[in-house]
């Protein structure tokens, strides 16, 4: 099951309708079908962390998404992004092909109305810090749509409809592309690490590259060259796993 965490009902409304989610009697506002469980957290990183923890504690979630709007001083209203860095210290591993642009985001405790920022919100850090306690970083996803250029306002239903509707199909395709981690066969990583005496750091980098191939249904390269110096061997291996 894929989990989705939204701060506001207005952010979640179109997803609820598009995926045919039904409201459940629960401690939080939760909407579900057989594949998706969406929770409304309310504003702020603490509320986001609490809701994320609740969802991951009470449902069998294999991937979780923080979906919502974000401010930006750089991007156009309506642009959609997959977040690759949060507050310069948290890094979701993006290991699948996707139709979105990527960007960093800065999470604040208050509404931001000035400054130079690619993306800003009030929930992303709390969401990620809670989710990483339960899942691996490649199972944690943040999708943000630019709603304003650092202007405090209350978006109308019509505004949110126009903002989100053009992206619903791509969001659906992205969710459908997420796979259960139990399907991964990482024996090739262990074999190559042993054969070429890779360090722990090199092994972890190779694991991410192999997972990228598996997630995207790519054929793994056949690597079988004579062992030499570890650094050069690792470079040759990674060159075979082209992205």
**Over the stretch 16-27, which tens digit does the pLDDT of each residue have?**
999 999 999 999
What pLDDT is recorded for position 132?
96
∠ Cα 137 139 143 (to 5°): 95
Predicted TM-score of the model (pTM): 0.80
| Superfamily designation of domain 2-180 | Nucleoside phosphorylase domain (3.40.50.1580)
Compute the distance between CA of residue 182 and CA of residue 179 in angstroms, rounded to an integer. Answer: 9
Q: Distance of CA 16 to CAs 6, 11, 53, 166, Å?
A: 11, 10, 21, 15
Over the stretch 54-78, which tens digit does the pLDDT of each residue have? 999 999 999 999 999 999 999 999 9
CA atoms lying within 13 Å on the CB side of residue 87:
15
Compute the distance between CA of residue 54 and CA of residue 58 in angstroms, rounded to an integer. Answer: 6
Contact 98, 172 (CB under 8 A): no
Compute the distance between CA of residue 157 and CA of residue 17 in angstroms, rounded to an integer. Answer: 13
Compute the distance between CA of residue 179 and CA of residue 157 in angstroms, rounded to an integer. Answer: 33
Compute the distance between CA of residue 107 and CA of residue 126 in angstroms, rounded to an integer. Answer: 9
What pLDDT is recorded for position 180?
60
Please report, for the chain, the start and end positions of each structural domain, with discontinuous segments joined by +: 2-180, 184-240
∠ Cα 137 8 80 (to 5°): 55
Tally Cβ neighbours within 10 Å of residue 165.
11
Closest C-alpha among 8, 34, 6 to residue 22 = 34
What pLDDT is recorded for position 73?
96
What pLDDT is recorded for position 36?
98
Over the stretch 139-186, which tens digit does the pLDDT of each residue have? 999 999 999 999 888 999 999 999 999 999 999 999 998 866 545 567
Kindly give the interhelix angle for 9-18 and 168-177, rounded to the nearest 10 degrees: 70
Compute the distance between CA of residue 165 and CA of residue 175 in angstroms, rounded to an integer. Answer: 16
Closest C-alpha among 95, 107, 112, 109 to residue 177 = 95
């Amino acid at each position: 099951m894929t989990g989705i965490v939204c701060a506001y009902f207005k952010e979640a409304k179109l997803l609820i309708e598009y995926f045919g989610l039904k409201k459940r009697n629960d401690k939080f506002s939760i909407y579900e079908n057989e594949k998706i469980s969406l929770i409304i957290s309310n504003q702020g990183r603490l509320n986001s962390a609490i809701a994320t923890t609740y969802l991951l504690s009470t449902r069998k979630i294999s991937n979780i998404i923080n979906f919502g709007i974000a401010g930006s001083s750089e991007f156009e209203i309506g642009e959609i992004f997959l977040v690759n860095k949060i507050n310069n210290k948290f890094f979701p591993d993006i290991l699948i092909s996707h139709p979105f642009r990527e960007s960093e985001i800065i999470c604040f405790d208050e509404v931001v109305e000035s400054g130079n920022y690619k993306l800003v919100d009030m929930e992303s850090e709390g969401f990620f810090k809670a989710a990483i306690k339960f899942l691996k970083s490649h199972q944690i996803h943040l999708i943000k749509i630019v709603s304003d250029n650092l202007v405090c306002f209350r978006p109308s239903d019509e505004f949110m409809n126009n903002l989100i509707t053009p992206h619903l199909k791509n969001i659906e395709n992205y969710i459908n592309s997420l796979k259960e981690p139990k399907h991964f066969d990482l024996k090739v990583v262990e074999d190559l690490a042993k054969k070429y005496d890779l360090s722990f750091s090199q092994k972890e980098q190779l694991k991410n590259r192999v997972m990228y191939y598996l997630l995207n249904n790519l054929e793994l390269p056949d690597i079988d060259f004579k062992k030499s110096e570890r650094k050069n061997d690792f470079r040759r291996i990674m060159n075979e796993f082209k992205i």
